[in-house]
Chain A
Amino acid sequence: MATRNTANSDTRTEIQAGTKVKGKVQGSEDLWVAGRVEGSVELDGALTVAPGGVVKAEVRAVRVTVAGTVVGDVTASELIELTAQARVQGDLRAPTVRVDDGAKLNGLLEVGDVSRVEVAPRPAAPKTTQPQARPEPPEAHHKTTVTGFVPNAVQDDRRRKRVVVKKRG
């Protein structure tokens, strides 16, 4: 007993395939998800959604790497990476976003100066699709709408636009 996670040098939380977490996840270390997380994730660390992993949550973290499925808005204070297997439905905000060829994204993408972004907790606001409900971006903000947020269309895979912002380099 009391086996430490020696495989990784630093402490890392791992939600294995077959594990389901429902509720609020908070912490200041890296979180790796091959299972399922529903609710909210607030991390002062990196979130990795492994292939097969599903995160249905509002996510705030320093870095977010998606190779699985994410449904929900994601805010990263440093970087969001979508690998070729990534399936994302929700709005992404980060100073740097990398999208690999093959990744699928439905939602608003905000890349650039997100200095207002903090990893600190915020009051949970109900998600709304009304554009005026979003906070006004700063002037230097580079805002890109990748696919219009058409709630009825996102279920239809064939109508999904394939988003290729930047090839793997």
Chain B
Amino acid sequence: MATTTRQDEQTIIGSTITIDGEIDAEGPVMVQGRVVGKLRSAGDVTVDEGGEVEAEVEAETVAVAGRLVGQVEARNRVEITAEGRVTGDLRAPRILIADGAQYKGNIDMG
């Protein structure tokens, strides 16, 4: 499945924004602010540095450079960068955890 991340088609939750509820996107989502609840995307979800997600996350690829608390399900992969802090169970065929990343939870790679 090709996930072309066209910058102009990306849903962006800016750094001062808090969304308490559900997000359901056909395209990629970038979180620089705060999302609480549920976050689903047919594309990729990126939690940028400074971004905070306390939600069930479901996406093609989930990349975390910020903070994420919740269950994560990725159809392709989960990626936690060196700045990323993740608490919660991960389910994905591929999981990348960079040196310096913080993670706690169960991992299910199928």
Interface residues of A (CB under 8 A from B): 1-5, 7, 11-16, 18-29, 31, 35, 39
Contact = CB atoms under 8 A, between A and B. Distances in A.
Interface range for B: 20 to 34
B25 A14 contact: no
A13 B26 contact: no
A2 B24 contact: no
Interface string B16-28: 1111111111110
Specify the main secondary structure of chain A where it touches its partner: strand
B1 to A, nearest CB: 16
Contacts of A23: 19-22, 37
Q: Which of B15, B25, B27 has the most CB of A within 10 A?
A: B25
B14 A2 contact: no
A1 B81 contact: yes
Given A11-B14, A16-B25, A23-B20, 16 more contacts: A3-B7, A11-B32, A12-B12, A13-B13, A13-B14, A15-B11, A16-B10, A20-B22, A20-B23, A20-B24, A20-B25, A21-B21, A21-B24, A23-B21, A25-B21, A35-B25
